[in-house]
Chains A and B, each alone.
Chain A
Amino acid sequence: MAELTSTLAKPQSGEQDAARRQRRAAWALTLPAVLLMGVILLVPVAVAAVLSFTDFSLGNDSFNWVGFKNYDRLFTRSTYAKMFVATFTYVVTVVPISVGLGLGAALLIQSITHLREVYKTIYFLPVMATLLAMAIAWEFMLHPSIGMINRTLELGCGTVLEHIWPFMANGCVQGFPVWLGDKRYAIWVISFIGIWQGFGFNMVLYLAGLTGVHRELYHAAEMDGAKSGWERFRLVTWPALGPTTVFVVTISCIRAFQVFDTVEAFWPQGGGPNKSTYVMMFAIFEKGVQQNLIGAGASITVMFLVFVMILTLIQRWLVERKVHYG
């Protein structure tokens, strides 16, 4: 009997050994990647999360635990209220418009036969340019007295435009806006620059998505009675671009949450007129780097991570549930 069990057990233990060896080898092989991921991704996030509960400053030997005080400030101080307003205004403006323009440009470029590459390059140029350098160019253009934009607007004075457009009438009498110095305009100016800079990227993603739409589907739609371009867009193009749209919207949202360079270039000391462009990234920079309030900076960073995490989860849910046709 003992013999029997031992002969039975032997191959089994051999199998177990093999399985264990394989597991060990698998862990050993993934270890460098796991270590790297921990050290450069997870540990910094954890450190930021921990620091957000302290009043740590760089250079100090010790710190005090302050509990939720940093977070409490985030939701009670008016500066932070302005931060959320500026950030969300920017995101809500830039994302739909840059996605819409990207899709529109992609559809237009797709529909032409000549000069495709030229248009693609032109629309993609702002994406390739350094935003900081571009911000300087924009600063000149937006200058209230010598800037190209106000100079151009002044040309409209005395024409019919003055009578039909109240903004023009107002500007001709009282002077055109100080674009970067007026809290009514500042956030819209950086939103505009964000759209100008970002939609070319979305266009390229949509162009890639459009190449994946089966040509025969358009013919089928035509045979089925979809006569107008709009009907064919609704029946074929838009559903086929579903996965692309989810990706484009998510990427655009994350990029919009990350807006920083324009704000830093235009208003290095403090987030625009009356903090109207005090976006999250700039707040993190100001608190954490300029003022060395690491705890406060960390708490904004954690908030930022939460927003991005929510967006990513929504994207994953949409990709898995709604737009995956298999």
Chain B
Amino acid sequence: MEISVIVFPGSNCDRDVAVSLKQVFKRNPKMVWHKEQTLPKSDLIVLPGGFSYGDYLRCGSMAANSPIMSEIIKCGKSGTFIIGICNGFQILTETNLLPGTLIRNKDLSFICKNLPLKVENSKSRFTHKYSANEIIEIPVAHNEGNYFADQKTINNIEDKDLVAFRYCNKDGIVNDETNPNGSKNNIAGIINEQGNILGMMPHPERASDKVAGLIDGEKFFISILESIQ
């Protein structure tokens, strides 16, 4: 099993996610520089968090045009697993591998905190280790995490059960008060229709280490591992 973590100039969660992946997959992922023209054979491609290109122009927009991306788009369309976390999610929407976009948080400030999430779809290849409607705790750290799409797109995502996670409180209540950044319907993570690409704003790699305090992210990585096997 081969994993590639794509490193853009300004990525800063590349090492963190590599550590979590190694813990679960028991092997080192390949760190692939964004200027590469070819991608090593990969069963899983990870677009990590950070500030690719300094978030200049628009979060993720320049990275979406990096040389490596045409390979990644090809792989995504042919069914390779891809996950985008935080800035990675923003890049995935910029490449149209996932619908919608991520705009400025409703309060216009950066938010870094642990948040409860409701596992909305516990049958996907990314989330099947969670139980239905499980409430998990995963940190967020973003300035542009406000998920937005037109109503038709939102309806389509929801009708097809493509919402992976929603923001909620610790009792699982999903409403405006438990919406940290203004995302449509509290959406924190989505899956594409083919079921092989996931984007999420929260950081599961920051919740996979007992010593650092949180472990709910581990099941996310284990789900992927089992789906690939």
**A and B from one assembly?**
no
